[in-house]
Amino acid sequence: MVAAAALTLAVAATSARPGFAQDHGAAGGSDSDLGTDGKAIFEQICAACHMADAKGGGEPGARVPALAGNRNLANKDYPIILLLKGRGGMPWFTDILTKPQIAAVITYVRGHFNDYHDPVTVADIDRIGSTNPPVPDCNCGH
């Protein structure tokens, strides 16, 4: 409950107008403004909770996991599942981002904040979405 409230506050604080990422890009424009630039998507959406340095933060019990240096991201299926299904206080993003946007932001986070440079593709997202895997434990205490 606390994590959901923190997410709501973070999203409200970073958005001048309500709506989804594809409705309001970085300057309040359209989805073409945000496009499939993984960095722009991260800065507009993910950094609100995971912080600009992707090191996460927050209070115990409502801690937002770090994306930087996160060994779980070595398996590109892991972040795909989380963005498709959500987990804890993090919502699913299938109503917020397109598949190409999901692929772009995961590719950016895995390569920029970690050393995993194999790109995530829409085909990867379709493969995971069609198998309906369970949401994995995050083991986020590191």
Name the burial class of residue 141, with classes exposed (0-12), middle (13-18) and buried (19+) by CB atoms within 10 angstroms of its CB. exposed
Q: Is 29 inside a domain boundary?
A: no
Would the CA dihedral through 135, 40, 11, 6 be positive or negative? positive
Q: What is the CATH number of the domain that holds 59?
A: 1.10.760.10
Q: What is the pLDDT of residues 24-36, one digit of tens each?
A: 333 344 444 568 8
Tallying the residues shown for the chain, one arrives at 142
- Check residue 139 and give its pLDDT: 55
Distance, CA of 83 to CA of 90 (rounded, Å): 8
Q: Is 136 inside a domain boundary?
A: no
Higher pLDDT, 58 or 31: 58
Q: Total structural domains in the chain? A: 1
Q: What is the pLDDT of residues 91-138, one digit of tens each?
A: 999 999 999 999 999 999 999 999 999 999 999 999 999 987 777 776
- Check residue 69 and give its pLDDT: 96
- Residue-range definition of the domain harbouring residue 71: 2-20+34-131
pTM of the model: 0.74
Higher pLDDT, 78 or 138: 78
Q: Is 26 inside a domain boundary?
A: no
Q: Is 139 inside a domain boundary?
A: no
- Check residue 132 and give its pLDDT: 79
- Check residue 118 and give its pLDDT: 96
Q: What is the mean pLDDT of residues 43-58?
A: 94
Q: How confident is the model at residue 89 (pLDDT cuts 50, 70, 90)?
A: confident
Distance, CA of 11 to CA of 16 (rounded, Å): 10
